[in-house]
Amino acid sequence: MRMIRKRIVFFLMIILFIANIPQKVDASAGVSAASAILIEQKSGRVLFEKEAHTKRRIASITKIMTAILAIESGKMERTVTVSEKATRAEGSSVYLKPGQKIKLEDLVYGLMLRSGNDTAVAIAEFVGGSVEGFAYLMNQKAKEIGMVNTHFANPHGLDDHENHYSTAYDMALLTRYAMQNKTYQKISGTKVHRAPNPNEAWDYKWTNKNRLLTKYKYCTGGKTGFTKRAKRTLVTTAAKGDMELIAVTLNGPDDWNDHISMYESGFVHYDMAEVLSKGKLDLENNKYYKKNQLYIKKSILYPATSKEIGLFSVKYKLYKPEKKWKVTKKQEKVAGKAIVYLDGRAVQETPIFYQNVPEKKKGIFNFMKDIFLSIMGVKLNG
């Protein structure tokens, strides 16, 4: 009996010991998608990835690019005449009619909320002149953003071209770019939109297909996608406190839970560290510039684990000023840059500005006032 008790105690001790060993978080075990990524919006830091650079079909998350190009066209208030070609687009639709007139802004809402393929073609023809012309603009923008493993052949993501593909990483880059636009942010995060419908007695009422907007309280927007060849694709955004995250899954059978799992892991294990605060810089060994006239305009925040907080360092690189900087009036110039390092690796940088603020010359009134006060025995400095 004693031997049995000893064995039970021994096994219980082993179980408790194992339970208290810190476990490395491996989100991939809970991610169903073939490709997935989680990045932080401000810094672009990758917090988790799985086959993130593998080229795959992307289905309707293509429409993120279509939406941002429409918004950046500056024509959102213009009226679009819908072509017959647009109304014949296959798949999901908002049921536009040939010759129908509708604002570009409403088309973008129909594109993002209901994933209308008819709206995608109508937008492409209006902004790019044709579907082919718009695809050219899409690839130009992709190159500008740095989407090196992406090629767009249409504005909607249907499987009608073999050379239409991207990666989880590239789609995260695109979403990070798009989320810097306030109009895109608003449309992407809209749960319900109403638009005039000239063909019926009732208006359009479009409910967002992104279920995470109601399923997950931190979700701020995103875009769904599905085709038979691409399977389920999903891009979403979420924010909690100072941290804003972007999640992408390609071919993810359980994508809603994939995204929630990645977000929860990101919010739990990372915090936004303010490595450098905006404002004046008092740099030692500064032989070029006047004291307290160097500054940065924007704080640097970077996501870090508790173990990484003490591994940040900042280096300042100042440029030698040109002679023409010696001016007599207030003038701002870029004087260098501040580089943030994490464990010896450069991760962020921001410009250092210099403002030459000349001393104000006293007017005759202030000059006479100082003389009068000095005669009366009043100290000029209080």
103: tokens are 């604002």
Query: E strands of the chain, at which residues?
Result: 35-40, 46-50, 79-81, 101-103, 192-195, 204-207, 219-227, 231-240, 243-250, 271-276, 279-281, 294-296, 300-304, 312-318, 331-342, 345-356
Rounded to whole angstroms, the Cα distance separating 139 from 176 reads: 17
Show which residues are catalytic: 60, 63, 115
Cα dihedral across residues 77, 78, 84, 88: positive or negative: negative
Residue 336 has phi, psi (to 5 degrees) of 160, -155
Distance, CA of 189 to CA of 42 (rounded, Å): 18
Helix or strand holding residue 278 (H, E): none
CA 352 to CA 296: how far, in whole Å?
A: 5
CB atoms within 10 A of CB 371: 10
Measuring CA to CA, how many Å separate 333 from each of 27, 158, 300, 322, 339? 45, 49, 20, 10, 18
Of the candidates 192, 238, 186, 236, the one whose C-alpha atom is nearest the C-alpha of residue 217 is 238
| Cα dihedral sign, 238-244-77-108 | negative
Q: Is 83 helix (H, G, I), strand (E, B) or coil?
A: coil
